[in-house]
Amino acid sequence: MIPFSVSTLKTEKWQQQLTASFRKVEELLDYLELAPHLHPSMQAAGDSFSFRVTRFFASLMEKGNISDPLLRQVLPVAAEREFVPGFSSDPLADRSFHAGHGLLHKYQGRVLLITTGACAINCRYCFRRHFPYNDHQLPKNHWQALFGQIREDQSISEVILSGGDPLSLSNSRLATLVEELQDIAHLRRLRIHSRLPVVLPQRLDPPFLEVLKKNRLNTSLVLHINHPREISPELRRALLPLRQLGIVLLNQAVLLKDVNDSADTQVTLNERLFEAGILPYYLHQLDRVQGAAHFSVDDHRALQLHAAMQARLPGYLLPRLVREIPGAPSKLTLPLSQNHE
């Protein structure tokens, strides 16, 4: 156990766990009994896009296995530093949709709020790995301007909390944010996109449940789970109170080479999601961000895989295979998205 400072002890338990996260590649590899695999290129890649892994998520990895699918998602590698044509620093053109105060307005009737640039872990395929959060996230002193902006547009019925990871915010800040949003009469739905419960189930603590319990908006929590081993007993227990509150639990996965690009893995993932009370929602084709090309699965292979899943899963457990195309009115289902490339 890593000792905590006096100042850290004043924080919430989940924040203490974040403080104890692995911040150096060599520390994680040593914990996983993989120290001989350390290479300078890993450290260089970790310097260009910072490295961070919670100890809980590391505990789900198989020790001694450099090809572990959970490790592969967070391990910096030399391929991240290679320039690949067709991959860019802003693959979804997020910056062009910024409407000010951390608000991205891409789709009719809903807006996405960049609440923070912080995450509990830094996934190496992250489509916002180059995003200039300092210029595009919600500043603490501009909250009222943001709420005023949403009030003025009565076509908005849903607000999506994103980031970074919105559950990196303290419960008090989330409470203030949710309270202000639910006072906007024309808002009906609140959606929270987060990977934090997966890599640190302790985040779903009683104060956070109270924030949701007092909220009038129809609320959904969209998790980001890519592999069946990420559905830990701790996560299942932590999600149970949310299910009892009537919070809709959905999952968005990303199709990743050598992580979850097999029919067996995908079928097991979606069956276990349902057992945990989570409905499969989207299976995303990789957003083409520079530094993540080594995770890419071509569309032909993706469609073959999805067809194999369809043959083995009931319709309600089959996620939609989609790609996001900048400027399109919604996420596009493959193979239709190919017409927009």
Look at residue 251 and tell me if it is in a domain.
Answer: yes
- Token pair of 302, please? 């993706």
Look at residue 88 and tell me if it is in a domain.
Answer: no
For 2-22, b where at least 16 C-beta lie within 10 A, e where not — what string? eeeeeeeeeebebbbbbebbb
Cis before 36? omega within 30: no
339 pLDDT higher than 50: no
Please tell me the number of Cα atoms within 13 Å of 231 on its side-chain side: 23
- Token pair of 231, please? 């559905």
9 pLDDT higher than 60: no
Average pLDDT over residues 325-341: 73
Give the domain CATH number at 295.
3.20.20.70
Q: What is the pLDDT of residues 226-243, one digit of tens each?
A: 999 999 999 999 999 999
pLDDT of residue 5: 36
Position 24, amino acid: K
pLDDT of residue 337: 44
Burial class of residue 36, CB neighbours in 10 A (0-12, 13-18, 19+): exposed
Q: Can you give the residue range of the structural domain that contains 266?
A: 94-340
| Distant-in-sequence, close-in-space partners of 97: CB < 8 Å, separation ≥ 6 | 104, 105, 106
Last residue of a domain, one of 81, 114, 142: 81
Report CA-CA distances (Å) from 294 to 46, 52, 244, 262: 16, 20, 40, 16
Q: What is the Cα–Cα distance from 267 to 312, expressed in whole angstroms?
A: 7
Q: What is the Cα–Cα distance from 191 to 109, expressed in whole angstroms?
A: 13
Last residue of a domain, one of 23, 47, 81: 81
Last residue of a domain, one of 81, 106, 132: 81
Is 326 found in the same domain as 208? yes
Is 101 found in the same domain as 76? no
Q: What is the pLDDT of residues 274-298, one digit of tens each?
A: 999 999 999 999 989 889 999 999 9
Structural domain tally of the chain?
Answer: 2
Comparing 211 with 2, the larger pLDDT belongs to 211
| Distant-in-sequence, close-in-space partners of 126: CB < 8 Å, separation ≥ 6 | 49, 119, 289, 292
